[in-house]
């Protein structure tokens, strides 16, 4: 596990453009949404006393986005460098691969997110830390969901190879409208509301808004998000094992990178 | 030691490997020859556990790879020109990463040994992607020996190398097998290499082993001047399977 972590640590450490890339996008995202939320705060009654809602949601969504993409990137890096087969003939259990990717993805995500969080205070006078202790649970819940999405996409990469790469990039954009990141679930048409209720994102972002607007924590939302996360994570891990088994039958582990 | 027993692999209706049997003992290098698409890489992939056989079994040191994959992979390794090491890592970083993955105990000592015997000293801190193909090949060989394997699978280890580097790798492998208890399967299109290194050769065609024996025996048996002519004769002959 430590070996796989080291492989990506060496890669990031030696490449300034990679570090810059990790920091650049979250920072741009936060600055953009910071100005949009300033505009809303000036012209909307709803957001009148809660300037930070959109910005806080943007930071949380970016955390989710980065964690999922980081997980996928660790896989894609191996495919692009044609190192994939070397890893799968190394004596690593699937569980060890998953655990090392989960921790390495977390570090990649934090490298990008911490500077973005630090930027919000001097630029917009907002600190995401105002969410208090529940922030930890919200981050944890988002990270689990991000990793789960990463597992789904990586399973596709193992089974179908690099042709699955586009799905890796677009997976989160597909879920964003249903996740109700910036608006309450009631905004969605009824049919989409039914689908959205099956996603932990709805409960996480609903609770974020609730804490900021009402200054009150509804742990039911947080717990419900964790229940859903547990189900999806279990499916994600099972799918990863299944994909590996299918790839061994179909031979896709040998032709990876072609 | 490798034992391949009644091994078959089919992809839908295509039989890539058809009921093959062979054994590679300690201190033995067996050559695997055959035209492109004959089943060499599929056979190697099954031995490495990358591919699940449709039928048959593979025993490494008497243990079935299907049931003891992770345990056996600790003592196996592989080199192929179609697989590369991360280009943005230095040679040393790559070797450290793989030493960790294979749980090598004295990493510095092992890297120092491989670095000096494979002439990597001057490039040990260079980025792997900036090396010549001969240098990359020596680094890949170092990676394949990092865990001191008892089973080594070599897929065209000297493909596209200049004669001097090719000769260096062959000499290295000759010396290495004398010192270590190792079983090596060598898939190659270089007949001189096979003749020089291998104690025995298997000829594959359409997923079947159509002939096998010591290189000199095969040359004599088929009444040809060299192994290349034997290869051409067998490749061009129609076989009933």
The pLDDT tens digits of the residues spanning B124-156 come to 999 999 998 889 989 999 999 999 999 999 998
Task: Please state the rounded mean pLDDT for residues B21-38.
Answer: 91
Q: Chain B contacts of A77, Cβ < 8 Å?
A: 86
Across the interface, of A6, A91, A248, the residue whose CB is closest to B97 is: A6
Closest CA–CA distance from residue B40 to any residue of chain A (Å): 13
- H/E stretch holding B208: strand B208-213
Interface residue A3 vs chain B (CB under 8 A): yes
Q: How far apart are CA B55 and CA B147, in angstroms?
A: 30
Interface residue A241 vs chain B (CB under 8 A): no
Please state the φ and ψ torsions of residue B66, each to the nearest 5 degrees.
Answer: -65, -35
Interchain CB distance below 8 Å, B73 and A89: yes
Q: What percentage of chain A has pLDDT greater than the value 90?
A: 28
Give the count of beta carbons closer than 10 Å to the beta carbon of residue A39: 12
Q: Is the pLDDT of residue B33 over 80?
A: yes
Interface residue A16 vs chain B (CB under 8 A): no
Q: Which residue of B has its CA nearest to A92?
A: B70
Q: What per-residue confidence (pLDDT) applies to A43? A: 61
Interface residue A4 vs chain B (CB under 8 A): yes
Q: What per-residue confidence (pLDDT) applies to B82? A: 83
Q: Is the pLDDT of residue A239 over 50?
A: yes
Closest CA–CA distance from residue A26 to any residue of chain B (Å): 24
Give the count of beta carbons closer than 10 Å to the beta carbon of residue A103: 14
Residues 73-132 of chain A whose Cβ lies under 8 A from any Cβ of chain B: 77, 81-93
Interface residue A238 vs chain B (CB under 8 A): no
Q: What per-residue confidence (pLDDT) applies to A258? A: 45
Mean pLDDT of chain A: 83
Q: What per-residue confidence (pLDDT) applies to B125? A: 95
Mean pLDDT of chain B: 90
Interchain CB distance below 8 Å, B93 and A15: no
Q: Chain A contacts of B90, Cβ < 8 Å?
A: 10, 14
Q: What is the ipTM of this complex?
A: 0.86
Q: Is the pLDDT of residue B8 over 90?
A: yes
More confident residue, B197 or A52: B197
Local structure of residue B164 (DSSP, 8 states):
H
Q: Which residue of A has its CA nearest to B96?
A: A3
Q: What per-residue confidence (pLDDT) applies to A209? A: 87
Interchain CB distance below 8 Å, B50 and A253: yes
Which segments of A81-196 does DSSP mark as H helices, in order? Answer: 84-88, 94-124, 134-160, 165-175, 190-196
More confident residue, A117 or A138: A138
B8, B15, B54, B89: best mutation site toward chain A, by most A Cβ within 10 Å?
A: B89
CA A182 to chain centre: 16
Local structure of residue B230 (DSSP, 8 states):
H
Residue B25: helix, strand or coil by DSSP? coil
- Highest mean predicted confidence (pLDDT) among A38-52, A108-122, B31-45: B31-45
Q: Chain A contacts of B88, Cβ < 8 Å?
A: 11, 14-15, 81
**Contact criterion met (CB below 8 Å) for A120 and A127:** yes
The pLDDT tens digits of the residues spanning A16-70 come to 667 777 777 777 666 666 666 665 666 666 555 555 788 888 888 888 888 888 8
The pLDDT tens digits of the residues spanning A188-229 come to 888 889 999 999 999 999 999 888 888 888 899 999 999 999
pLDDT grade, residue B52 (50/70/90)? very high
């Amino acid at each position: 596990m430590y070996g796989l972590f080291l492989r990506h640590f060496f890669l990031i450490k030696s490449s300034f453009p990679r570090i810059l890339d990790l920091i650049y996008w979250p920072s741009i995202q936060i600055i953009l949404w910071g100005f949009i939320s300033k505009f809303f705060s000036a012209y909307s009654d709803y957001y009148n006393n809660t300037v930070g809602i959109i910005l806080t949601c943007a930071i949380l969504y970016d955390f989710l986005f980065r964690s999922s993409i980081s997980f996928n990137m660790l896989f894609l890096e191996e495919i692009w460098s044609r190192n994939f087969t070397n890893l799968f003939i190394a004596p690593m259990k699937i569980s060890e691969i998953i655990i090392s990717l989960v921790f390495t993805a977390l570090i990649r995500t934090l490298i990008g997110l911490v500077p973005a969080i630090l930027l919000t205070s001097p630029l917009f006078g907002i600190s995401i830390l105002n969410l208090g202790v529940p922030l930890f649970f919200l981050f944890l819940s988002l990270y689990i969901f991000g990793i789960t999405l990463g597992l789904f996409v990586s399973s596709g990469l193992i089974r179908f190879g690099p042709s699955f790469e586009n799905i890796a990039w677009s997976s989160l954009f597909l879920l964003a409208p249903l996740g109700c990141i910036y608006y309450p679930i009631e905004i969605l048409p009824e049919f989409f509301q039914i689908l959205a209720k099956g996603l932990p994102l709805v409960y996480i972002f609903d609770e974020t808004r609730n804490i900021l607007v009402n200054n009150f924590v509804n742990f039911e939302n947080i717990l419900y998000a964790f229940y859903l996360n547990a189900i999806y994570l279990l499916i994600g891990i099972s799918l990863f094992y299944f994909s590996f088994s299918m790839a061994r039958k179909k031979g896709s582990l040998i032709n990876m990178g072609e | 030691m490798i034992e391949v027993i009644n091994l078959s692999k089919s992809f839908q209706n295509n039989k890539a490997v058809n009921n093959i049997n062979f054994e590679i003992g300690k201190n033995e290098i067996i050559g695997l020859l055959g035209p492109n698409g004959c089943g060499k890489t599929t056979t190697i992939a099954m031995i490495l556990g990358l591919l699940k056989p449709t039928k048959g079994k593979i025993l490494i040191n008497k243990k079935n790879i299907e049931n003891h994959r992770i345990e056996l992979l600790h003592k196996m390794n592989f080199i192929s020109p179609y697989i590369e090491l991360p280009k943005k890592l230095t040679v040393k970083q790559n070797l450290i990463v793989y030493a960790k993955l294979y749980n090598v105990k004295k990493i510095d000592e092992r890297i120092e040994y491989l670095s000096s015997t494979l002439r990597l000293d001057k490039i040990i801190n260079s980025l792997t992607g900036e090396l010549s193909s001969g240098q990359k090949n020596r680094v890949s060989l170092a990676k394949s020996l990092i865990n001191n394997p008892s089973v080594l699978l070599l897929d065209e280890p000297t493909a596209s190398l200049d004669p001097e580097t090719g000769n260096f790798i062959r000499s290295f492998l000759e010396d290495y097998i004398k010192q270590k208890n190792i079983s090596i399967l060598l898939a190659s299109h270089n007949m001189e290499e096979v003749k020089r290194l291998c104690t025995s050769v298997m000829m594959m065609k359409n997923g079947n082993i159509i002939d096998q024996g010591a290189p000199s025996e095969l040359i004599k048996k088929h009444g040809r001047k060299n192994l290349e002519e034997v290869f051409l004769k067998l490749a061009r002959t129609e076989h009933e399977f």
